């Protein structure tokens, strides 16, 4: 487990983020709306626990370039929201 902090809350994540396949609102560029070589946004999530054992889903909003090779080390893995399960 990886220890992270989000808005003053300590969380433990498993490091196994998955695509949510969410259709993002107009603030973001979805994959299908980007042309080859343009940036697009996508959301990933993973399970998280707090120090009391409460379960959460941690969400990341990431950006990539359409047509580029996938490399998870290129992303800013900062949690932008959480939901209690």
pTM higher than 0.85, yes or no?
yes
Dig out the tokens for 35 from the structure: 């042309």
> What was the pLDDT predicted at 68?
96
> What was the pLDDT predicted at 65?
96
Buried b / exposed e along 10-43 (16+ C-beta atoms within 10 A): ebbbeeebeeeeeebeeeebeeeebeeeeebbbb
Give kind and range of the element (H or E) at residue 27: none
> What was the pLDDT predicted at 85?
96
Domain count for the chain: 1
Residue 29 is part of which domain span? 2-84
Q: Which residues in the chain show pLDDT less than 70?
A: none
């Amino acid at each position: 487990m990886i220890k992270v902090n989000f808005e003053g809350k300590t969380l433990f994540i498993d490091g196994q983020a998955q695509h949510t396949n969410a259709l993002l609102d107009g603030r973001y560029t979805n994959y299908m709306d980007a042309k080859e070589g343009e940036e697009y946004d996508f959301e990933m999530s993973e399970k998280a626990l707090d120090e009391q054992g409460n379960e959460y889903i941690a969400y990341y909003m990431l950006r990539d370039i359409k047509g580029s090779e996938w490399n998870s080390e290129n992303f800013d893995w900062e949690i932008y929201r959480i939901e209690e399960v």
